[in-house]
Amino acid sequence: MIEELEWTPNLVLVDDEQLVLSSLKSFLSLETDYKINTFLSAIEALDFIEKNDIDLVLSDYLMPEMDGITFLSKVRKFKPEIPRIILTGYADKENAIKAINEVGIFQYIEKPWDNDDILIIIRNGLEKQRLIKTLQMKIREIDKANSELDGLQNEIVKAFV
Radius of gyration of the chain (CA): 20
Among 4, 6, 8, 91, binds another protein (CB under 8 A): 91
Does the footprint of another protein cover residue 22 (CB under 8 A)?
yes
Residue-by-residue DSSP string for 84-113: EEEEES---HHHHHHHHHHH--SEEEESSP
Among 11, 12, 13, 24, binds another protein (CB under 8 A): 24
What does the per-residue mask of binding to another protein show for 40-79, with x meaning CB under 8 A?
----------------------x-----------------
Among 94, 101, 157, 159, binds another protein (CB under 8 A): 94
Does the footprint of another protein cover residue 19 (CB under 8 A)?
yes
Distance in angstroms (rounded) separating the CA atoms of residues 113 and 107: 13
Does the footprint of another protein cover residue 124 (CB under 8 A)?
no
Contact 69, 88 (CB under 8 A): no
For the chain, helix (H) and strand (E) counts, in that order, are 5, 5
Q: With respect to another protein, which residue has the nearer C-beta, 28 or 54? A: 28
Beta carbons within 8 Å of 147's beta carbon, 6+ residues apart:
none
Strand 56-60 with 107-110, pairing: unpaired
Binding residues for another protein, per CB under 8 A? 15, 17, 19-20, 22-24, 26-27, 30-31, 62, 89-92, 94-95, 111-113, 115, 118
